[in-house]
Chain A
Amino acid sequence: MTEGPLTARGAPDTEPAPATAPPAWQPAVWQSTPRLRRLATIAVAVALAAVLTRHASLLLLGAPALAALAAAGRGTRPQALDAAVTAAPSRCFEGEDVEVTATLATPMDEVTFQIEPGPAVELAEGAATQVVVAGQPTARARWVLRPHAWGRYLVAGVTVRCTDGMGQASLVLRPELVEVFPHPPPTRATLLPADLLRRIGEHTAAAPGAGIEFFGIRGYQPGDRLRDLNWAVTSRLGQPHVNQRAALRAADLVIMIDAFSDIGPPGDTTLDLAVRGAAGLATAYLRAGDRVGVVILGGVLNWLAPSPGNRQFFRIVEMAFGVRFPSEATPDLDRVPRSALPPRALVVLFSPLLDRRALNAVTDLRQRGVPLVIVDVLTREPPAEQRQPLSQLAVRLWRLDRGALRASLTGLGVPVLTWDSGTGLEGAQASLRGRRVRAVR
């Protein structure tokens, strides 16, 4: 199966985002400007000084301020302002640009737009604060943001400060939520279960078939193609022998995401890494024509039955958008229907191996005879104080505990791979290259 690269704009049910949203009337609360307060303060101070010192000439100090106050227009001060903010496109991958445009169609003397990007969102183009002075019917500001974390979230908030005469109003505008898909790390579909499906696919099976790779040699049987004759063996043994080729079969992959733990800075947490890894594996297997499903451990148990095609990638990612909500519930894998966890499916669990409930799920899967691979996504150690021996000792004990946990899982026949976001998933799979994952009860 050869499909083109995944693009967020080609996601199912995606409509092109409008360049500018229809303006909306936002209620405005008007206050006096800092300038009015300053000029009034100085005028009052001058009048007080003149009275206290009985020196009328001091009024000369406050006269310009008073004149400026009187000359300034009061402004229109409408109850609502015609303001809008848009973010386009509404769907993108991590690291792609999102353009945020804020407009104010109500004429004002001075408009200040200030953007506050969300966590893990970089301001790639445009000054954070932009000022538009009167003279234009529509005040407009534009920024380019670059989100570095997946999810469905608010990429930025825009504060609009309007000054008209000696009045000032502030609005906080929020664009529509943007769906940021995880950037799939480069990888290939090399993790395979020992027993592949009967379906035709792209993986070399341990059975003779009509594939490409050499499988073995057997005696000629009526119906065999002459071009499969192995002439060297035939001439040596005096009997016709033919080459056998391995069958090409498909595989089912079920990706499990441990959402019980979420540790790390925004945009680079263990859950961020797990979903990126899941996106990478899903992309690789779907491109190979395999079926991919997902089970999310954490909060409410969610699953998606294995299915082929590019659309499945977006279904998986959209399901992953909802993984972040805290829950004390322990997942009951018996509730996962047979179609979501089909027999002979390879299960890859992305987990930081920190929560006992995730380890219970591993035990459950193992007892059910599911071929399982764990990808450890915990890449950071607890911080240790350099000058405190007890702190360093605690970190060493933590390392030993992690090592013992991983060794015990490996001893049970469950391979544990370590993956860091800085490398592709292929490097993490290197230790299993050429090996098939077997179910161990």
Chain B
Amino acid sequence: MSAGPRTRRAVVLLRAATGCLGAGMIILPAPELSGRALVLVLAGLLLVAASLAGPSARWRTVGTLAAAVAVLESALGRPALAVLAGEGLLILGYLLLVDAPGAMPGAGAARWLWYQLPAVFWGTLTTATVLVVLAVPVPVSAWLLVAGAGAAVAAIVIALPRRPGQPRQPR
């Protein structure tokens, strides 16, 4: 038994939004690429398409690979800071939406999107902070890299499961 028309519409809209974000994250750093590196654009677009439709959409690795291609493009092209900031937000949006569960009716999809807003808010705030820090002319320092790597490790340690807690009260 297939889902109802409202559910189908919500799924199509979510997929379309995911596709736009995915295409954006692949195309945004493309102008800085040249020569053989342009193959990455094609590969990235194909991976984005594969993560949205077809049997490969069930493989979660495909979406991660598409985002990794976008990172690789930026690493090779080294675009401007503003472009990198936008690219980071596009990657975050794509990774959030590509996880959206299928078969959600319209109201459920709206509620699901509402619950993603905190992640988007904190991502935007962090991007703005890092952008400001990087925009200030400071001499290149290895400490900056160490601080970044430390932040990554701290974030993962905070998010990783530690021990089971008590069930919370119904909202």
Interface residues of A (CB under 8 A from B): 30-32, 34-47, 49-72, 74, 76-79, 82, 105-107, 109-110, 112, 123-135, 137-138, 166-167
Contacts and interface: CB of A to CB of B under 8 A. Distances in A.
Contacts of B120: 68
A41 B95 CA distance: 11
Contacts of A56: 134, 140, 144-145, 148
A43 B96 contact: no
Interface string B43-81: 000000000000000001001100110111011001001
A71 B101 contact: no
Contacts, number: 214
A53 B145 CA distance: 11
A61 B78 contact: no
Given A50-B148, A71-B123, A127-B3, 14 more contacts: A30-B164, A60-B87, A60-B134, A62-B152, A66-B126, A67-B126, A70-B159, A71-B122, A77-B165, A82-B167, A106-B167, A107-B168, A127-B1, A133-B111
Contacts of A106: 167
Contacts of A109: 115
19 contacts: A34-B99, A35-B96, A38-B67, A38-B95, A41-B68, A42-B71, A44-B152, A56-B134, A58-B71, A63-B127, A64-B88, A67-B122, A72-B118, A110-B101, A129-B101, A133-B104, A138-B170, A166-B161, A167-B161
B interface, size bucket: 35 or more
A30 B118 CA distance: 23
Contact of A68 (B60, B123, B151): B123
Nearest to B154: A70
Contact of B130 (A34, A44, A63, A107): A63
A127 B4 contact: yes
**Which of B104, B134, B145, B148 counts the most chain A CB atoms within 10 A?**
B148
Contacts of B165: 76-78
Contacts of B164: 30, 77-79
Given A69-B156, A71-B118, A127-B7, A42 B91 contact: yes
A47 B148 contact: yes
Contacts of B125: 67
A124 B1 contact: yes
A53 B71 CA distance: 12
Nearest to A129: B103
A127 B3 CA distance: 5
Q: Which 8 A-B residue pairings sit nearest by Cβ, starting from the closest? A: A64-B123, A67-B126, A137-B170, A64-B92, A71-B122, A68-B119, A78-B167, A60-B84
Contacts of B64: 37-38, 41-42
A60 B131 contact: yes
Contacts of B123: 63-65, 67-68, 71
A133 to B, nearest CB: 4
Contact of A57 (B4, B134, B167): B134
A71 B119 contact: yes
Contact of A38 (B99, B101, B103): B99
Nearest to A124: B1
Given A60-B81, A68-B92, A132 B108 contact: yes
B39 interface: no
Nearest to A31: B161
B136 interface: no
A36 to B, nearest CB: 6
A137 B88 CA distance: 35
Contacts of B129: 63
Given A41-B68, A74-B162, A59 B130 contact: yes
Contacts of B17: none
A21 B3 CA distance: 27
B105 to A, nearest CB: 9
Given A41-B64, A106-B167, A128 B91 contact: no
A418 to B, nearest CB: 36
A177 to B, nearest CB: 23
Contacts of A49: 71-72, 74-75
Contacts of B3: 127
Given A35-B95, A43-B156, A131 B122 contact: no
